[in-house]
Structure formats: C-alpha cells, structure tokens
Amino acid sequence: MKLLIISLILAGTALVVIGTLNNQSTENTSLTLLTQNKQLAVATFAGGCFWCVEADFEKLAGVNQAISGFSGGQIKNPTYKQVSLGGTQHLEAVQVFYDPTQITYEQLLAAFWRQINPTDSGGQFVDRGTQYLSAIFYHSPEQQKLAHQAFDNLNKSTRFQTPIVTAIRPFKDFFPAEEYHQNYYQKNPIRYRFYREKSGRDNYLQKIWGKDLKIKPPHSKNSTTFIKPNLQTLKNQLMPLQYQVTQENDTEEPFHNSYWNHKEKGIYVDVVSGEPLFSSRNKYRSGTGWPSFTRPLEPKHIVTQEDNFLFITRTELRSILGDSHLGHLFTDGPQPTGLRYCINSAALRFIPQHTIEQEGYGSLIPSTQPTQASEI
C-alpha cells in the first residue's frame, strides 16, 4: 500500500528521485550528530513503515532526531526502490539519536514495543514482506542485554497470545533513505495520516495496549522498593493541593506556592515516594512563578511523556517510583542544558542541607554545592 501512495505522490508532485544515490544531506547525518553532540547516543530499530516509526520516536522527550533508512542488508547505499522489491535483505529501519540523561534505552525499548506487532513474522500491518519485519539492532553489549531482557519479559507476559518474533541483531550499518522520506509525517501530514489510518497500526496498538499504550515509568535500579499506596490512602496522607497535583495532574497557582522563590540549600524529593528529584544547585529564577531547574538530580528518577491536555503538545514530567505528576519540561532554560524543568511545589518536599544525612540522603550532600546555574 505504501508503494501505491508513494507512486501517487511522485506523480502528483512531479518529484524526481535519482534511484542510484541517496540524498547527500542525509547521508552523513549519523556521524555529524554524534560528532557535534557527544552527549547523544544512538539506537536502531526496524518496525515496518519507517515513516511511522520515525514519527513516534521523534515525539519522545529526550530524542534529538530520528532518521529513516535501511539496515541489515547485503549492499551499500540501497535505494528505496531496491529495498521495496525485497531483494537486498535490508529492513526499513530508523536510527534514533537520544540524550541518555533525558531518556533511557529501556524507555526507548518500551516505546518500540508500543509501535509494532512483535508477533508478525510476515511484515508489519498492511505492509508485507521481509523488508517490513521488526528488529532491534543493538550497538553495544549493554543494548544487547537490555533488548533480550525486554524481549523475555514481553514474551512471559500475557499481552500476546502468540510468541514474540522480533529479531535482536547486531548493528552493522545504516543507510539513510532518500530525502523525501525524512520527516515525512511533517512534510506530508495529510498523506501520512491517510496512510497511517489505513495501515491498521493504531487500531491494533490501541486494542493490544489500551490504557498502557503510554510508556509506564520503569523502576529505578538504585532506588529502594516503593509500593504506591491506593488513592484513598494518599488522600488521607496528602494535603488537598498535593493530591490534586500529583494524582489528578492539576497545576498550582504561579507565584503563590511554597518553592517558587525558595533559595535554601538542599534537595527536593517526591512528596509521595521520597525519591530524590532536584537539587538547589540546579534551581534558577525563571520568572514563571514555579520552581525551575536546569536538570534533575538523577535523570532515571523522572519519566517524560507527551501531554496534549491543553490542545498543545507538551512534555509531562512524572516521578519513576511514585508516578506523581510533577510538571512539564521546556527547552527555554539557561545553558548548559537549555532546559527548564517547571515543577509544582505541591509535588515536592524540601530537605534542607543540614538534615539530608539524617533523613537518609547523605550521599547527595555534594550535589547541593552551588554552581553558576544557581545564581541565574
């Protein structure tokens, strides 16, 4: 079906594609991204139509860019036409460049499973053929280990009635697809939505995952076990505003909350679970009326997810163990991160520096020492 749509697009727009060469602007993107931003890491996934996989990954906070292309085949620099005929053994794939301080590889894996049918051995949804098979191409032993763990956990779950067949393969090479394929969901939103709806992808994913379609916070390996109380218990434990913010995703009033202008040295923990979230060292005056931080104490204690509640797309912040709504992440913060973690005071409990050790957070005392960011 995608071939038919592409043919109509090419005819309707008089687009001329030279079949023997990939667009030069995307050919060296992978190397350029990693060279210019050494903080980024790379992951490679195949999940059928790369338009859809690219679009879903690029919506994740912490993902810098996703590139559509081909992996796992026998020839170098294949064209889309060559791959679509099924003779090169390439899979349509996407390379994901992400900031591991903002999103983990485990979270990327969780997002990947929620994009595909991992039990399909003949393709993905309406697209059939080996070029549309699903696969995880690992770049390191650690990625290999995590991919196999995720695979095994999903296979042991009752989510699917048939075995998982998604391949886990060593990464060898990646060749970007032609330029007209890159960011297709943005360049051709109407055609993309038409294809996506007709492919059956979203209907299948909603049926399989339901309310779990959004990524659930993974447990932190370095955190103590925390079992979240039921909602009635939390209502009894928390102040009304704390409950409304953390459990009902409410937002407190700016400039009229506990910590918006708070300057004392210490750390801020989740009011529900007590997991450490932010340090006074990374707090700054944003002028918004809410506590603002340039980075979290430990990135893996916070999960991000898309929030469309106000008819605009924002990045929601939630704690890992407490699953508390904290606030939102914006990209208008000061350097060196350029980020603003805009947090509700009602989601936080402040622990002064002089009581950190006695409350069991002694290892975090050095993290409260001031830096330039705290003086902004």
Say what the pLDDT of residue 81 is. Answer: 94
pLDDT, average across residues 289-310:
87
With residue 318 as reference, give the H or E element that holds it: strand 314-319
Whether omega before 370 lies within 30 degrees of 0, making that bond cis, reads no
Under 8 Å between Cβ of 267 and 356? yes
172 Cβ contact partners less than 8 Å away, ≥ 6 residues apart: 71, 72, 137
Confirm or reject CATH 3.30.1060.10 for domain 2-212, answering yes or no.
yes
Q: Where are the domains of the chain?
A: 2-212, 231-375
Q: List the end-to-end C-alpha distance of the chain, in Å, as a whole number.
A: 54
Q: Is 210 left (phi over 0), alpha (psi -120 to 50) or beta?
A: left
Under 8 Å between Cβ of 327 and 347? yes
How far is the C-alpha of 130 from the C-alpha of 133, rounded, in Å? 5
Half-sphere exposure of 312 (CA within 13 A, CB side): 3
Position 283 pLDDT exceeds 70: yes
What CATH number should be reported for the domain whose range is 231-375? Answer: 2.170.150.20
Handedness of CA 34, 40, 41, 43 (dihedral sign): negative
Residue located via tokens 């622990």? 351
Residue of 33 and 179 predicted with greater confidence:
179
Q: If we measure between CA atoms, which residue out of 35, 26, 94 comes closest to residue 60?
A: 94
Q: Output the average pLDDT for the chain.
A: 85
Backbone angles phi, psi at 161, to 5 degrees: -85, -15
How far is the C-alpha of 56 from the C-alpha of 305, rounded, in Å? 12
Active site residues per annotation: 49, 342
Position 37 pLDDT exceeds 50: yes
Position 214 pLDDT exceeds 80: no
At 288 the three-state DSSP class reads coil
Q: In the chain, count of helices (H) and strands (E)?
A: 12, 17
Residue of 222 and 164 predicted with greater confidence:
164
CA angle, 213 then 219 then 222, to 5°: 160
